[in-house]
Amino acid sequence: MKRRLVLAVVTGIAATVAVSASPASAAGGVPHVKGGETVPVYSYENAVRESVWVQTPLDNDLDGVPDKIAVDIVRPRETAERHLKVPVILEGSPYYSCCGRGNESERKQYDASGTIVKQPLYYDNYFVPRGYAFVAADLAGTGRSTGCMDVGGREEVLGAKAVVDWLNGRARATYADGTPAVATRWTNGRTGMIGKSWDGSVANGVAATGVEGLETIVPISAISSWYDYQRYNGVLRAEDYPEFLHRYVNGRPAEACAETLARLDRDSDDATGDYNAYWAERDFRPDARKVRASVFIAHGLNDTNVTTDQFAQWWGRLGVPKKMWLYQAGHVDPFDLRRAEWVDTLHRWFDRWLQGLRNGIDREPRVSIETAPGAWVSERDWPAAPARTQRITLGNGDGTTGTLGGASGRAVRTWTDAPDLSEAAAVAGPNTAVAGRVAFLSAPLSREVRVSGTPSVTLRVRVDKPTTELTARLVDYGTATRVDYLGRGEGITTLPTESCWGASTAADDACYRDTAASLITSDHAIVTRGWQDAAHRVSLRFRTPLRHDRWYTVTVPMQATDQRIAAGHVLGLILQASDNEYSTPQSTGATIRLDLRGSSLSLPLVGRLPAPGATAPAVSAEPVPSTFAPPRFDPLVP
């Protein structure tokens, strides 16, 4: 059933019907359920606004008392006056005080007495009138919380979990004056977590504890493994990154968290790039089997900040009801891409899993994918069911540019690491020799093919140093209009107009700047990228140095993707050593010899590549000027 969204600023409608004390999931005795969905009947202006501090089981600031999480709550007045119990939408974030949330970087605001008067984003404006409470928690060591931010670790996750426990009567909390705060007086405990970037990452982490009462999560552009966020298969993304993130969001005096900061520096182990106990603590994927909550993922297929393996490897492990949106932009919230459809879908998702309304959303196709700017399709699952992994040989071609498919003979390619070679220069002009890279091209496609899943390239190499970094890029050569995810807005342009999504007060309006897709016409585009430290080829837990007189097989996994390559276009594979844009190269200056006979590209394809010619086709591809600055040293952007 298509529902009509209310886009006007709503001042709130007071309920005139007696409210049952039963949970909203009863659906028959509450005024906010009508026609199988929740509707706005409660006053947002008159809502209860309060703050509590939830006690956690940890004390990582070592002050001798349990750390506390500051929680700001907006809930219908009827939960206090008429004993209505409602479910909760919870966002845990480190950004509420330091940096802001959403496209307009909104922060929490308080009145002179310390009472919350403005929550970032539209979740409270839209959902509180519909019979939900909205709870915004400052992660440990940020905002008004105590403890110390440990960047994806136990303090962060268990602190947010304690909020879910409190909502279900299993943890203690107090008001500012020290009096007990009891959540079970106004909530039925059914909790959903939501958030973009770091906020969505903590939702993944809390779900992986299996905490009871967490009924659903909506991770947007979120991390499922902090190692894979800060390391690319042993390749260092940026030096001192955990410490940088800690300082960026820290809300405590420096001396209070000096020990935590020292542990982040020591245990993250920049020197080796190894996966160790520190990273295992911040890897939620092995605990996917513990997840009880349903999961609704949203992620940009061209997100270069939180890369696509974060959603792909999480999605594939989940055994719960799940749904996913994939889109062509970068690190962008779907609220700023496809606003009406996103709010409608999110509303139905929360109604299903928090209000218990059987609205059919869990029986619809699981996956919605943007296949081209503004063109969306629905599918049953991901990767695409018809996709089959195909092994594609690396042919010798003309001896300079190789072919995808075809005979390699005894051909060898040799190049020396050029750490200053940019991505733009590496992928341009693939028919010419460029120092520091080698190129392979398919024949022009006779019909469209689709890459759906996780490609990789297996390389048989001999290296004159104990290790080298290896970089692979899959490129679509062909002119098309594409989402400009490398531009300043990562695929969107912010407009001067506004639209409103819920009820407002003088301090907290529900109106947000509209956006439009940012498009570019280009003669080529990166389909996916991948990186591998050769010394970590055997295991990410330890290094195995290479001997200069031996051949080794090294597989470079690329990021998951779902892209259609049009008929007439050419698919290219570009190989480099270190990459100075998406990582902090630890260049050894190695010279790499590549044996084409022992090397191949593994592609999850719908369709097939055409048979190659004896030589690669001529391709015109100019370097693309861009305002993009890869997020090497940036935090997870709000």
Catalytically active residues are: 197, 303, 331
What is the torsional sign of CA 416, 572, 554, 540? positive
CA geometry: angle 276, 281, 286, nearest 5 deg = 95
Q: Which two tokens stand for residue 616?
A: 């690669």
Using DSSP bridges, classify how beta strands 388-395 and 116-118 pair: parallel, antiparallel or unpaired: unpaired
Beta bridge partners of 609: none
Pairing of β 133-138 and β 570-576: unpaired
CB 90 within 8 A of CB 206: no
Q: Which residues contact 321 (CB under 8 A, 6 or more apart)?
A: 294, 295, 353, 362
Peptide bond into 383 cis (omega under 30): yes
Between β-strands 375-379 and 37-38, what pairing exists: parallel, antiparallel or unpaired? unpaired
DSSP state of 74: E
Question: What's the full length of the chain, in residues?
Answer: 638
d(CA 96, CA 98): 6
Phi, psi of 140 (to 5 degrees): -50, 135
Half-sphere exposure of 474 (CA within 13 A, CB side): 31
- 134: closest CA among 86, 171, 179? 86
- C-beta of residue 526 within 8 angstroms of C-beta of residue 423: yes
Q: Measure Cα distances from 599 to 27, 551, 594, 617 in Å.
A: 60, 12, 8, 21
In contact, 189 and 196? CB cutoff 8 Å: no
Q: How far apart are CA 522 and CA 519, in angstroms?
A: 10
Q: CA-to-CA distance for 130 and 502, rounded, in angstroms?
A: 10
Asked whether 615 and 398 are in contact (CB, 8 A), the reply is: yes
Count the helices and strands in the chain (H runs, E runs). 11, 33
Rounded to an integer, what distance in angstroms lies between the CA atom of residue 493 and that of residue 488?
9
Q: Is the Cβ–Cβ distance between 555 and 532 less than 8 Å?
A: yes
Helical H segments across 71-153, by residue range: 78-81, 123-127
| Structural contact between residues 535 and 544, judged by C-beta atoms closer than 8 angstroms | yes
Are 433 and 439 in contact by the 8 Å Cβ rule? The answer is no
Could you give the CA distance from residue 598 to residue 415 in angstroms, rounded to a whole number?
17
199: which 2 tokens? 């906020």
Which phi and psi (to 5°) does residue 600 adopt?
A: -165, 160
SS3 of residue 620 by DSSP: coil
C-alpha torsion 622→628→631→634, nearest 10: 160
CA-closest candidate to residue 6, choices 485, 458, 344: 344
